[in-house]
């Protein structure tokens, strides 16, 4: 029997979007190797596994190349060797849970905006563009902190949910990058500690990828 094709997650160990798909792969039992991207300033799509938007993560599965975190998670679910009960964004019925997922996506993107703009591009952090992003991020965290317990309790029975996994990746990323303080958000910290006991969380800690030979 020939060797099975290897699936690769292309991304960064310091990325919350990359961590989200790695968590899903581990939770679903889909074996994927990890291929880090070291230079986010590259304008060559080949450095992003062919993603023309120059964004990560990317999943290479056989001859297929899949772009985007949620898109990848859904493909991983179809490839899982065993059925898992997954609560997707469209499965939640309450307005609060739907708003929560929207705010998680917004906050994750705001962190990308802040990180790339101020830390990689070295643009002034006091620009209204970044000040508004940071304010919106704090507002979203405050809103989530005040409702996280009730929202999670209202989710249907599940093995995994997009809301929980993405929220966990966001919370730990805020602490990892230290762009805003997590100190005011005790309920979010409690949620993250609980989710963080999962093997998938413990096997995907945030870190900065170092090129070989550096």
Q: Looking at the domain covering 86-198, what would its CATH class be?
A: mainly alpha
Arithmetic mean of pLDDT, 142-151: 98
**pLDDT for 106 beyond 80:** yes
80: left (phi over 0), alpha (psi -120 to 50) or beta: beta
pLDDT for 171-206, tens place per residue? 999 999 988 889 999 999 999 999 999 999 999 999
Q: Looking at the domain covering 8-84, what would its CATH class be?
A: alpha beta
Domain with CATH 1.20.1050.10 in the chain: 86-198
Please name the residues in contact with 145: beta carbons below 8 A apart, sequence gap of 6 or more.
Answer: 184, 185, 186, 187, 188
Domain with CATH 3.40.30.10 in the chain: 8-84
> Which pLDDT score is estimated for 120?
86
Please name the residues in contact with 11: beta carbons below 8 A apart, sequence gap of 6 or more.
Answer: 17, 18, 21, 22, 34, 35, 36, 37, 56, 57, 58
**pLDDT for 4 beyond 60:** no
Model-wide pTM > 0.75: yes
Arithmetic mean of pLDDT, 128-145: 96
* Bridge partners (DSSP) listed for residue 66: 59
Spatial distance between the Cα atoms of 206 and 171, rounded to a whole number of angstroms: 12
CB 57 within 8 A of CB 72: yes
> Which pLDDT score is estimated for 213?
83
Arithmetic mean of pLDDT, 89-114: 96
* Bridge partners (DSSP) listed for residue 35: 10
87 confidence band (pLDDT: 50, 70, 90): very high
pLDDT for 59-84, tens place per residue? 999 999 999 999 999 999 999 999 99
Rg of the Cα trace of the chain? Answer: 17
Spatial distance between the Cα atoms of 24 and 18, rounded to a whole number of angstroms: 10
Environment class of 33 (CB within 10 Å of its CB; exposed 0-12, middle 13-18, buried 19+): exposed
Spatial distance between the Cα atoms of 124 and 127, rounded to a whole number of angstroms: 6
């Amino acid at each position: 029997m020939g060797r099975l094709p290897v699936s690769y997650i292309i991304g960064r160990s310091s990325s919350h979007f990359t961590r989200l798909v790695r968590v899903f792969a581990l939770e679903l039992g889909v074996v994927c190797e990890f291929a880090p991207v070291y230079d986010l300033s590259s304008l060559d799509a080949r450095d992003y596994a062919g993603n023309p938007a120059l964004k990560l993560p990317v999943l290479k599965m056989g001859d297929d190349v899949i772009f985007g975190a949620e898109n990848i998670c859904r493909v991983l679910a179809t490839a899982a060797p065993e059925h898992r009960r997954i609560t997707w964004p469209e499965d939640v019925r309450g307005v609060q849970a739907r708003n929560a997922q929207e705010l998680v996506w917004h906050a994750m993107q705001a962190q990308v905006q802040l990180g790339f703009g101020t830390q990689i591009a070295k643009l002034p952090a006091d620009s209204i563009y970044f000040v508004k992003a940071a304010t919106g991020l704090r507002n979203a965290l405050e809103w989530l902190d005040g409702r996280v317990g009730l929202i999670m309790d209202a989710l249907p029975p599940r093995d995994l949910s997009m809301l929980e996994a993405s929220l966990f990746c966001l919370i730990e990323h805020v602490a990892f990058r230290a762009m805003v303080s997590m100190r005011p958000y005790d309920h979010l910290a409690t949620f993250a500690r609980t989710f963080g006991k999962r093997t998938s969380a413990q096997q995907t800690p945030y870190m900065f990828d170092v090129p070989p030979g550096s």
